[in-house]
Amino acid sequence: MQLSDIKEGSRAIINHVGGNAALRRRLHEMGIIKDSEVYIEKYAPLRDPIELIVKGYHISLRVGEAQEISVKTVK
Amino acid sequence: MQARQLTIALAGNPNSGKTTVFNTLTGTRQKVGNWPGVTVEKKEGTIHKFDRELKIIDLPGTYSLTPFSIEEIVARNFILEECPDVVIDIIDASNLERSLYLATQLREIDCKVLFALNMADLTRSRGIKIDAEKLSELLDLPVVFTIGNKNKGIDNLLKKAIELAESDHNIIQHRKVRYSKDIEKSITLLQSFIEDQPRSSLAYNPRWTAIKLMEDDQIVQKRIRQQFGAGGEKIIAQSEVQRKLLADRFDDDAEIIMTDERYGFIAGIIKEVYTTSTRQRVDLSRNIDLVLTNRFIGFPIFLLLIWGMFQLTFSLGAYPMGWIENGISIFSSLINSVLPAGMLKDLLLDGIIAGVGSVVIFLPNILILFFCIALFEDTGYMSRAAFLMDKIMHLIGLHGKSFIPMLMGFGCSVPAIMATRTLESEKDRILTILITPFMSCSARLPIYIVFAGAFFAEQAGTVIFSIYLAGIVIAIISGRMFRSTLLRGADAPFVMELPPYRIPMAKSLMIHMWDRSKMFLRKMGGIILIGSIIIWVLSAFPKNINYSQNYSARIAGINAAYNQQIAAESPQQKTILEKKRDIVIAEIERAGKAEKIEKSYMGKIGKMLAPVFEPIGIDWRGGVALLTGFIAKEIVVSTLGVLYATGDSVESEALGKALQSSGMTGMGALSMMVFVLLYIPCLATVAAIKKETGSSKWMIFSIVYSTGIAWMFAFLVYHAGRLMGFS
């Protein structure tokens, strides 16, 4: 499952971050790494970008970028 | 005795309160400039405290020190090359885990670091506890709590920084980040390989160099090649071997594994020093965001705020603009009465004061606009605006933040171009600067009103609206075109932090506003001054014009004739006659002025350029007016007024009639409007483009591109219209 498939208001565990090298590295540096938990806070009014909460802070990504991140859902 | 000099660099994440700490430290004694060669802002300030001269440098806010963005390269190079005596890492205490990522990277470079755990008050109110002593012990560096916006802990921070800088504290290797066994093995191997190479001098610490090579760091590779020559290639080849080895073992790139391991190391520290009470508190910032980025009312609120900013900038700004204008005219008349007639006076009045004056009046706009922008930035709303607009702006290949400068372009391109400073990526900035002038600025409106009013009476509104729309469409097309040619390259990842909302500090807002205005006055002043003088020379010379008739003699004659008549009349008739006389004289003066412009260098250039304007249905008078429009678009209408014999007051109706009877066609008028919309922006805008792109190359490109596009579209409109049977 990709991060872009997760509904607003739910949690997910990062499985693998894909995409080009610059994006991967940037996401990793911002703390979006394997096994860390993210919370999907909301989608922007035009459904892109997405706002996430990770490691206690808020971050936004484009949907295209979220599609590169595979996740596991949590109950 | 000379006070000891120390250099202190402030590093930290964006939104960590770094700038607030810097402002608190240096106050108004700060200098804002650019880092050499790039358009990243450099702030520094020198203060005297504790018997020392402290030079404080605000490094660009970064999340990491990998050399991907210019900001990161600038920050890293400063630490590596300039070797500041001490680096203070400003950490948002409520965001400790992510902040420690940059901290671990700073720790790996050989420099003296201390931590300022900033916004300590906020952290406490959120129920977060940080064991500073433990943190200090674990990382072997001093840790100080600060509250930047309340000036708490700042003196203590400075004291500790000085202590550390002057101590012979050795950075102990084992306190640095430890990687897993396989990676450590590769690092050690590479490290000893580097140490074994014959070399003149190694700039950086070998372990750090080895780590960076493992991470495929292009800049370090380049340095290695420069320093070691042939040996460098061997080192890099060795690092490739090690990278390959790790990639096979971990099934991922070494730099990714190492990033993960740093976070693992950080997680270990967090576990020991960070406790948060289980009590769930109301997160005010999140609640504000529920409204401001709401699916239904987020956009209306955004538009309302932008509308408010626009109104403040241009409507409220109109009052002080009027005062400055009055001030300038009082100053002009003062000079007029003091100086004897002559060249110097003309140069001062018509050249310098008129030219520089026309730019200085933008100061209130700039002040208000930057106050609003600083407010948006400091409260945290700017990133929400980008969040809302990104989808739309991304269609042109731009970042959500580009929206604000482009919108400001409808008011005035100068503040709009200066507003692009909020964009982090240089490519986005240049792209936005190049297309912003196509947003039709308010100074062009009077021109449209004259032409649309005269030639499209009933549909004037629709025509003007279409012109504005055409500007937007051409901006979008140009944007897409530039993005896929000149400014190519993958979009910078959007990945953007949405910091908590904060109450801005008045001091920061003032400093921000003042910096911009100072820059505007100083730098623009130079270019505008020179430009004004050139334009004045072109329109005031040559001096010895062969007039077709002796205007002053005619005026004198008419004056004498009327005065004779007036003397003989009753008082009632006198006033009527006096008025009549003044009208006749004004008419002759205007004709004289028109001939003067026609025969000046400017007029000659206009006539020379007539073949250029002829295919787009504009005669030489229109051409001259367009040329003078380079000083400021406001001048176009008054030049036309002079040339078309309607007086230089902006009486659009009379001018419209004159234009119609001069043989200009409706399509010619439309072509003129299109040309005005697109052609070379005014002198002040050109100066702003040069300043903000940091290169004359982009300035010249912008001039050539916009004027070329203008001519092309004017030509298309003119001939397509004629082919379709319009005249």
Would residue B207 count as lying in a domain? Answer: yes
CATH number at residue B222: 1.10.287.1770
Contacts of B499 in chain A (CB under 8 A): 57-58
> Is 70 exceeded by the pLDDT of residue B3?
no
| Per-residue pLDDT at B527 | 66
CATH number at residue B103: 3.40.50.300
Band of pLDDT at residue B649, cut at 50, 70 and 90: very low
Identify the weakest region by mean pLDDT among A40-49, B119-128, B148-157, B234-243. B119-128
| Per-residue pLDDT at B347 | 85
Q: Specify whether B170 is located in the same domain as B268.
A: no
Would residue B69 count as lying in a domain? Answer: yes
Q: Which of residues 244-273 of B touch A (CB under 8 A)?
A: 253, 255-256, 259-260, 263
Rounded to whole angstroms, how far apart are CA atoms B625 and B639? 5
> Is 80 exceeded by the pLDDT of residue A57?
yes
CB atoms A47 and B391 under 8 Å = yes
Least CA distance to A19: which residue of chain B?
A: B493
Q: Specify whether B154 is located in the same domain as B19.
A: yes
CB atoms B98 and A51 under 8 Å = no
Q: Specify whether B50 is located in the same domain as B165.
A: yes
Would residue B398 count as lying in a domain? Answer: no
| Per-residue pLDDT at B133 | 92
Rounded to whole angstroms, how far apart are CA atoms B414 and B555? 43
Rounded to whole angstroms, how far apart are CA atoms B150 and B589? 65
Neighbour tally for B264: CB within 10 Å: 15
Q: Specify whether B122 is located in the same domain as B240.
A: no
> Is 80 exceeded by the pLDDT of residue B408?
no
Q: Specify whether B168 is located in the same domain as B34.
A: yes
Distance from CA of A12 to the nearest CA of B (A): 18
| Per-residue pLDDT at B648 | 47
pLDDT single digits (tens) B453-470: 888 888 888 898 899 889
Best residue in B62, B73, B263, B427 for a mutation probing chain A (most A CBs within 10 Å):
B263
CB proximity list for B221: less than 8 A, separation 6 or greater: B213, B236
Mean pLDDT of B588-599: 80
> Is 70 exceeded by the pLDDT of residue B552?
yes
| Per-residue pLDDT at B652 | 56
Q: Specify whether B21 is located in the same domain as B164.
A: yes
Of the residues B111, B141, B175, which one is the last residue of a structural domain? B175
CB atoms A29 and B97 under 8 Å = no
Given B383, B394, B494, which is nearest A61 (Cβ)? B494
> Is 90 exceeded by the pLDDT of residue A17?
yes
CB atoms B299 and A59 under 8 Å = no
> Is 80 exceeded by the pLDDT of residue B55?
yes
| Per-residue pLDDT at B586 | 79
CB proximity list for B315: less than 8 A, separation 6 or greater: none
Contacts of B289 in chain A (CB under 8 A): 58
pLDDT single digits (tens) A21-38: 888 888 998 999 989 999
> Is 70 exceeded by the pLDDT of residue B725?
yes
Better pLDDT: B202 or B720: B720
Better pLDDT: B38 or B190: B190
Rounded to whole angstroms, how far apart are CA atoms B605 and B704? 18
Best residue in B253, B256, B287, B394 for a mutation probing chain A (most A CBs within 10 Å):
B256
CB atoms B293 and A21 under 8 Å = no
> Is 50 exceeded by the pLDDT of residue B650?
no
Mean pLDDT of B164-174: 70
| Per-residue pLDDT at B201 | 62
Distance from CA of A44 to the nearest CA of B (A): 6
> Is 60 exceeded by the pLDDT of residue B172?
no
Contact B484, B717 (CB under 8 A): no
Contact B88, B39 (CB under 8 A): no
pLDDT single digits (tens) B127-155: 888 999 999 988 888 999 999 888 889 99
Would residue B500 count as lying in a domain? Answer: no
Would residue B692 count as lying in a domain? Answer: no
What are the tokens at B724? 């379709």
HSE-CB at B29 with a 13 A cutoff on CA atoms is 12
Contacts of B243 in chain A (CB under 8 A): none
B578-582 long-range Cβ contacts below 8 angstroms, 24+ apart: none
| Per-residue pLDDT at B171 | 58
Can you tell me the ipTM of this complex? Answer: 0.95
Given A31, A47, A58, which is nearest B498 (Cβ)? A58
Q: Specify whether B22 is located in the same domain as B63.
A: yes
| Per-residue pLDDT at B430 | 92
> Is 70 exceeded by the pLDDT of residue B87?
yes
Contacts of A31 in chain B (CB under 8 A): 97-98, 101, 263
Given A23, A33, A48, which is nearest B260 (Cβ)? A33
Better pLDDT: B1 or A58: A58
**CA-based angle B618:B621:B623, to the nearest 5?**
55
Q: Specify whether B97 is located in the same domain as B214.
A: no
Q: Give, as one character, the DSSP assignment of residue A37.
A: E
> Is 90 exceeded by the pLDDT of residue B528?
no
Q: Specify whether B20 is located in the same domain as B83.
A: yes
> Is 90 exceeded by the pLDDT of residue B438?
yes
Contacts of A48 in chain B (CB under 8 A): 390-391, 394
Given A28, A44, A61, which is nearest B388 (Cβ)? A44
Would residue B368 count as lying in a domain? Answer: no
Q: Residue B134 belongs to what domain range? A: 4-175
* DSSP states of B76-116: HHIIIII--SEEEEEEEGGGHHHHHHHHHHHHHSSS-EEEE
What domains are defined for chain A? Answer: 3-73 (2.30.30.90)
Q: Output the average pLDDT for chain B.
A: 85
Distance from CA of A31 to the nearest CA of B (A): 6
CB atoms B498 and A42 under 8 Å = no
Given A24, A31, A65, which is nearest B263 (Cβ)? A31
Better pLDDT: B592 or B298: B298
Contacts of B95 in chain A (CB under 8 A): 55-57
pLDDT single digits (tens) B680-707: 888 889 988 998 888 899 999 999 999 9
> Is 90 exceeded by the pLDDT of residue B396?
no
Interface of A with B (CB under 8 A): 17, 20-31, 33-34, 36, 41-49, 51, 55-62, 65
Look-up: residue for tokens 């367009």?
A: B626
Given B94, B98, B392, which is nearest A30 (Cβ)? B98
Contacts of B496 in chain A (CB under 8 A): 59-60
* DSSP states of B602-670: HHHHHHHTHHHHGGGT--HHHHHHHHHTTT-THHHHHHHHHHTTS-SS--HHHHHHHHHHTT--HHHHH
Contacts of A65 in chain B (CB under 8 A): 493-495
Would residue B424 count as lying in a domain? Answer: no
pLDDT single digits (tens) B222-279: 888 888 878 888 889 999 999 999 999 988 889 899 999 999 999 999 999 998 875 5
Band of pLDDT at residue B1, cut at 50, 70 and 90: very low
Distance from CA of A51 to the nearest CA of B (A): 8
Q: Give, as one character, the DSSP assignment of residue B147.
A: B
Q: Specify whether B207 is located in the same domain as B143.
A: no
Mean pLDDT of B483-487: 85
Identify the weakest region by mean pLDDT among A69-73, B416-420, B678-682. B416-420
Structural domain tally of chain B? Answer: 2
Distance from CA of A38 to the nearest CA of B (A): 14
What are the tokens at B345? 């006076």
Rounded to whole angstroms, how far apart are CA atoms B573 and B550? 29
> What is the phi-psi region of residue B629: left when phi exceeds 0, alpha when psi lies from -120 to 50, beta otherwise?
alpha
Q: Specify whether B65 is located in the same domain as B31.
A: yes
| Count of pairs with CB atoms under 8 A, one residue in A, one in B | 107
Mean pLDDT of B334-345: 86
CB atoms A21 and B388 under 8 Å = no
- What sign does the dihedral B66-B67-B72-B77 (CA atoms) show? positive
Band of pLDDT at residue B570, cut at 50, 70 and 90: confident
Would residue B86 count as lying in a domain? Answer: yes
CB atoms A26 and B493 under 8 Å = yes
Q: Specify whether B162 is located in the same domain as B267.
A: no
> Is 60 exceeded by the pLDDT of residue B535?
yes
